[in-house]
Amino acid sequence: MKNLIAFSLLLLAGIGHAQDKTIKELSVEAAREVKKEAADTVPAVWRKGGLFSVNVSQGSLSNWAAGGDEFALSLNVLSSLYAFYKKDRHAWDNTFDFYYGFVRTTSLGSRKNDDRIDLFSKYGYALSPKWNIAALGNFRTQLFKGYIYEDSARVLASDFLAPAYLLLGLGFNLTPTPDFSVYLSPFTARWTFVQNDSLSAKGANGVAPGRKWKSELGAFLSANYLKTFNKVLAYKGRLDLFSNYKHNPQNIDLYMTNILSVTFTKVLSATWNVDLIYDDDVQLFGPTKTAPALQLKSLVGIGLLLKFGSSRQ
């Protein structure tokens, strides 16, 4: 019995000593400074994000003495995405914008009030911290047929790939701040496509009647600004200017798009989209409908807005 008691005491002492050693080792490990792995200190090379907005409004009237359409429905969808790459001397900026607006009323029927696809890509190789030699590509078109409404008649004005614009250029890019950049190219090629047969036969968008495309060579400038001021206010803007060396270089084509978003909650916000276009070859205006003019579109909406972004691929 004495031997059993002595053995038990020795066993308990050994276990206690082992536990005391383990606790000391854990304390040393916990006090040791944690070193970052090399991968944790590598700067992110991709910056991705965008926004998606849906605005819907609907109204109906029945026996309404003040008058009005019995039914009205409006839908506007906006999707604006970006993916920016930067590593060493290489930079590659990509944006994709899609807009679509639809209005239906009892008196007017169904009409679109917005429709655009815009893909923009720019690659640069750094010559200095703010200057790059850069190549740029841009493609714009719309998805569905668009009409000009006059009295009770409607005239076809656009269709998928009619018109469509493809622009390729080589030049220099200045980035004075992370949010703002200016691209200038003295040699830029631009193609205008009109793939709809009836529009092609009319010589729409400056393309010779019966032909499906034309090419131009000129100077091009593109200024881009993307800024999130705070949790509430954000802005994205782009200004493109093109001068055709072959025909009336003094008449500069302008394309400008602006998106201002104001966030009320995580998903509820207001957006204001303003577009300005001047194309010397789009001669649909004036008393005789044969003159170019500044085109303006403004859309304001309140509805669902989702913003998302990431800093690492």
| Residue 260 clears pLDDT 60, i.e. is over it | yes
| Residue 196 clears pLDDT 80, i.e. is over it | yes
The CB density around residue 273, as the number of other CB atoms within 10 Å, is 23
The CB density around residue 91, as the number of other CB atoms within 10 Å, is 19
CA–CA gap between residue 160 and residue 194 (Å, rounded)? 9
Phi-psi region of 23 (alpha: psi -120 to 50; beta: other; left: phi over 0): alpha
| Residue 17 clears pLDDT 90, i.e. is over it | no
Segment 76-81 shows an average pLDDT of 94
Q: What is the pLDDT of residue 76?
A: 94
Phi–psi pair at 20, nearest 5 degrees: -65, -40
Class of domain 43-310: mainly beta
The string of pLDDT tens digits covering residues 23-60 is 455 445 444 544 444 444 446 699 999 989 999 989 99
Segment 272-295 shows an average pLDDT of 90
In the chain, the N- to C-terminal Cα span, in Å, equals: 70
Domain boundaries, the chain: 1-34, 43-310
How many CA atoms does the CB half-sphere of 150 hold within 13 Å?
7
CA–CA gap between residue 84 and residue 50 (Å, rounded)? 11
User: What's the chain's Rg over C-alpha atoms?
Assistant: 31
Put simply, whether the predicted model's pTM sits higher than 0.85 gets the answer no
The string of pLDDT tens digits covering residues 144-153 is 999 988 877 8
Alpha carbon separation from 81 to 48, 52, 217, 226 (Å, rounded): 8, 8, 29, 12
